[in-house]
Amino acid sequence: MSTRRPDPLAQVSDFDIRLLRIFRSVVECGGFSAAESVLGIGRSAISQQMSDLEQRLGLRLCQRGRAGFSLTEEGREVYQSALQLLSALESFRTEVNGLHQHLRGELTIGLTDNLVTLPHMRITHALAQLKERGPDVQIQIRMIAPNEVEQGVLDGRLHVGVVPQASALSGLEYQPLYSERSLLYCAVGHPLFYVDDKQLDDERLNSQDAIAPTFRLPAEIQAHYQALNCTASASDREGMAFLILTGRYIGYLPDHYASLWVQQGRLRALKPTARFYDLSLASVTRKGRRPHLVLESFLESLAATR
């Protein structure tokens, strides 16, 4: 019973490809000596590499000696096959690099409301860079409550989100982006609007009708709301602004978001040196996500725009 001899080259390794590149250079240079300067290695090293290749292939590829360098019949066929293989590898490299340079696909982002007024504009700059790299990329932005952003990233409806950073949820990765300051505001028509800060003691402030957010916040920030008489709630900062602007409630808003109303004389910060908190916002992605060139490109731009 005959046993089939295993193929001498059952798989092509990086080492094999390196040897084939050397073989190609030797053939194109017409011999070992001429290939020395091209390859940057000595003749003895080239000879050893050729012997390794012949051993790997189980074929005699060339004649070398006093009569000079010449390919065997098998050597000529291997040379042609090597040219095809190396050309295919170069085409593969070029095409993959092209995917990075000319991105295609979709990016769905979930954002906490009212980040556009942040002076850093990191999200805006990262989106601009993404669109420059991939003019055909389709971007979808969804303005939703922070809890919905995290859930959307977890279940795959969103590729990435930006949320206030509270305790990390299992299955998500958080990267810090911003730190924003929130102040305690009231609006024209509220009894405290024209009261001097020196007359605003904690008891008076804490007795006013106030608004609490329903999204997750760090414990140290929740303490600021627990001190207030929260008789209303809102799922986002815009909802809180609506209620504050009625002149019937006080509440915390990011200073960059409230600044226009302050300039218009419609909002006033109450005891801003004492009643404030700083909140970190973070980008959020799913752990163990599949490779996604558009998402990775956006995250790289987001990390670079500091």
- Gap between the Cα atoms of 148 and 141, Å rounded: 13
Confidence category of residue 2, pLDDT binned at 50, 70, 90? very low
Amino acid letter for position 175:
Q
Burial of 23 (0-12, 13-18, 19+ CB in 10 A): buried
Amino acid letter for position 230:
C
Q: List, for residues 94-116, the tens digit of each pLDDT value.
A: 667 666 666 778 899 998 877 77
Q: Which domains can be identified in the chain, with CATH numbers?
A: 12-78 (1.10.10.10), 177-278 (3.40.190.290)
Number of H helices, E strands in the chain: 11, 11
Tokens of 274: 């004492």
Q: List, for residues 185-199, the tens digit of each pLDDT value.
A: 999 999 999 999 999
Contact indicator for 99, 293 with CB cutoff of 8 Å: yes
Residue 14 pLDDT exceeds 90: no
Residue 6 pLDDT exceeds 60: no
Which of 40, 14, 12, 39 lies closest to 25 in space, CA to CA? 39
In the DSSP assignment, the letter for residue 199 is G
- Gap between the Cα atoms of 101 and 133, Å rounded: 6
Tokens of 106: 């979709």
Give 85 or 191, the one with higher predicted confidence: 191
Distance of CA 297 to the CA centre of its chain: 6
Start-to-end CA span in the chain (Å): 72
Task: Judge if pTM exceeds 0.85.
Answer: no
Query: Residue 209, CB half-sphere, CA atoms under 13 Å: how many?
Result: 14
Contact indicator for 286, 154 with CB cutoff of 8 Å: yes
